[in-house]
Structure 1
Amino acid sequence: MDSTSVSRPSTPPATELRVNGVLIDDSIIASEITAHADETDPDQAARRALMTKELLRQQACAKGLIDQSQDIDDDTIDRLIEQECLTPEPSEEECRRYYEANAKKFRSPDLVHASHILFALTEGVSMPLLRTRAEEVRRDLTRHPGTFGEQARALSNCPSGKVGGNLGQLSRGECVPEFDKALFEGTATGLLPGLIKTRHGFHIVLVERRVEGVAMPYEMVSNTIARYLQEYVRHKAIQQYLTLLTSSAELQGVTVNVRPGLLLQ
Structure 2
Amino acid sequence: MPVIVNGVELSDADLERELPLHEQAGNPMREAVTALVLRRVLLDEASRQGLDASDEEGAIGGLLAREATAPEADEAACRRFYQMHPERFMVGELIEADHILFQVTPSVNLDMLRAHANVVLAELLEDPSRFAEVAREQSNCPSAAVGGSLGQLGRGDTVPEFERAVFALPAGGLLPQLLQTRHGLHIVRVTRRIEGRLLPYEHVAGQIASALTAMSRDIAWRQYVKLLVGRARIQGIDLEDGEPERVFSGSAA
Shorter chain as denominator, the TM-score bin is 0.5 to 0.7
For residues 156 and 214 of structure 2, what CA distance do their matches in structure 1 show?
28
Gaps of 5+ in 1: 1-14, 115-169, 188-206
For residues 88 and 157 of structure 2, what CA distance do their matches in structure 1 show?
20
Whether 2:208 is the aligned partner of 1:222: answer no
Contact preservation (8 Å) 1:111, 1:171? yes
In structure 2, the partner of 1:84 is 67
Shift of 1:97: 1.2
In structure 2, the partner of 1:212 is 195
What SS class does the counterpart of residue 240 from structure 2 fall into? strand
| 1:47 aligned residue (21, 29, 33) | 33
- Matched to 1:78, the amino acid is G
Q: 1:88 and 1:211, CA in 2 relative to 1: closer, same or farther beyond 3 A? A: same
Contact preservation (8 Å) 2:93, 2:155? no
1:52-99 alpha-carbon deviations (Å, 9 max, x no partner) = 1111111221222215xx362x33322222222211111111111111
In structure 2, the partner of 1:19 is 5
Higher relative contact order (CA 8 A, sep 6+): 1
TM-score by length of 1: 0.51
Gaps of 5+ in 2: 97-151, 160-165, 173-191, 246-253
What SS class does the counterpart of residue 91 from structure 2 fall into? coil
Name the structure with the higher helix share: 2
Shift of 1:108: 2.4
TM-score by length of 2: 0.53
For residues 242 and 26 of structure 1, what CA distance do their matches in structure 2 show?
24
Contact preservation (8 Å) 1:109, 1:171? no
For residues 81 and 223 of structure 1, what CA distance do their matches in structure 2 show?
24
Contact preservation (8 Å) 1:44, 1:255? no
In structure 2, the partner of 1:247 is 230
Shift of 1:214: 2.0
Contact preservation (8 Å) 2:94, 2:195? yes
Shift of 1:236: 0.9
Q: 1:212 and 1:48, CA in 2 relative to 1: closer, same or farther beyond 3 A? A: closer
Percentage of pairs with the same residue: 29
Q: 1:102 and 1:174, CA in 2 relative to 1: closer, same or farther beyond 3 A? A: closer
Q: 1:233 and 1:17, CA in 2 relative to 1: closer, same or farther beyond 3 A? A: same
In structure 1, the partner of 2:136 is none
Q: 1:251 and 1:221, CA in 2 relative to 1: closer, same or farther beyond 3 A? A: same
Which stretches of structure 1, 4 residues or longer, exceed 6 Å deviation after superposition?
Answer: 174-177
Aligned residues: 168
For residues 175 and 89 of structure 1, what CA distance do their matches in structure 2 show?
30
Q: 1:258 and 1:176, CA in 2 relative to 1: closer, same or farther beyond 3 A? A: closer
Q: 1:36 and 1:222, CA in 2 relative to 1: closer, same or farther beyond 3 A? A: closer
Cα-Cα RMSD: 3.9
In structure 1, the partner of 2:154 is 172
What SS class does the counterpart of residue 99 from structure 1 fall into? helix
Larger Rg: 1
For residues 198 and 239 of structure 2, what CA distance do their matches in structure 1 show?
45
| 2:214 aligned residue (227, 231, 247) | 231
In structure 2, the partner of 1:57 is 43
For residues 6 and 204 of structure 2, what CA distance do their matches in structure 1 show?
46
